[in-house]
Chain A
């Protein structure tokens, strides 16, 4: 992503490389769930790892985000959104599951 706001990428290579990586990063977690040969907790870690990896691949090769090419303000907005998501999602999950646990103890 550059500042122009117009399609400037003229090579198919990043897209095809991203596609190949995304296919691998999709096939592994689906395969792990389909064949079900790991403990559930291990499988969840594998799924989470491959999800984060695939999201990074999409950001890099489909949205063309790079620390060198992408305008700083776009990166700052994205970083801010990620911070907000972590606070809101993490905080809500913490509160809700803590509440759930307290209700169990009392009830």
Chain B
């Protein structure tokens, strides 16, 4: 069977091959190592939290409303990606595309809010070079934002592949790993608002 022309029958009863299984497992190992990187960035942030060098403190630069909006956008995008996964399991190509487009829109909203937050902070003189606290903040939250940006590029790439190849087995395998990545980023964000924004605004 040609991988590129999987019929609906293969999708109604989706079965993995050793190849898709290995790729998913390898990607899972990558995600766990990425989680360790984030854990160390969180640790650095906690150590640096009090080192403001006479500059702005967390209270002065964070906004609860913005953090809530970012949280909401990312949570909704995680859910809409889930809807795309369901549509993929049901071999419903149109709905996969629709939900992925919604996911991209929500993700772009998140990146826009984060970008404007960073730009505003730097304009106020609270850039990453101001203090150890701000260096650690920009490194941690910026690394997550970079992951989300790469995820968005990946989603757009998958939209193009779905357009060209349809829901073939290799495309579904990539879509599955992209889903793991996207849901994983939302988990990291839960840790970010619980360790950075909420305690910072107390």
Interface residues of A (CB under 8 A from B): 1-12, 14-16, 18-19, 22-23, 26, 29-30, 33-34, 36, 40, 43-44, 47-48, 50-51, 54-55, 58-59, 62-63, 71, 73-74, 77-78, 80-81, 84-85, 88-89, 92-93, 96-97
Give the residue of B71, B179, B187 whose beta carbon is less than 8 angstroms from that of A7: B179
- Please give the number of chain B residues whose Cβ is less than 8 angstroms from any Cβ of chain A in the complex: 58
Bound Cα distance from A28 to B103, whole angstroms: 25
Contact partner, A5, options B20, B89, B191, Cβ 8 Å = B20
A23 proximity list for chain B (CB < 8 A): 75
Which of A3, A6, A9 has the most chain B CB atoms closer than 10 A to its own CB? A6
Known: A88-B39, A89-B42, A96-B47. A5 touches B23 (CB 8 A): yes
Cβ of A4 and Cβ of B15 under 8 Å apart?
A: yes
Q: Which residues of B contact A (CB under 8 A)?
A: 14-16, 20-25, 28-29, 32-33, 35-36, 39-40, 42-43, 46-47, 64, 67-68, 71-72, 75-76, 78-79, 82-83, 85-86, 88-90, 169, 172-173, 175-177, 179-180, 183-184, 186-187, 190-191, 193-195, 198-199, 201-202
Cβ contacts under 8 Å, B64 to chain A: 30, 33-34
User: Chain A interface mostly helix, strand, loop or mixed?
Assistant: helix
Question: Which residues does chain A contribute within 8 Å of B83, judged by CB atoms?
Answer: 12, 15
Task: Point out the residue from B28, B40, B68 that lies within 8 Å of A77, measured CB to CB.
Answer: B28
Q: Which residues of A contact B68 (CB under 8 A)?
A: 26, 30
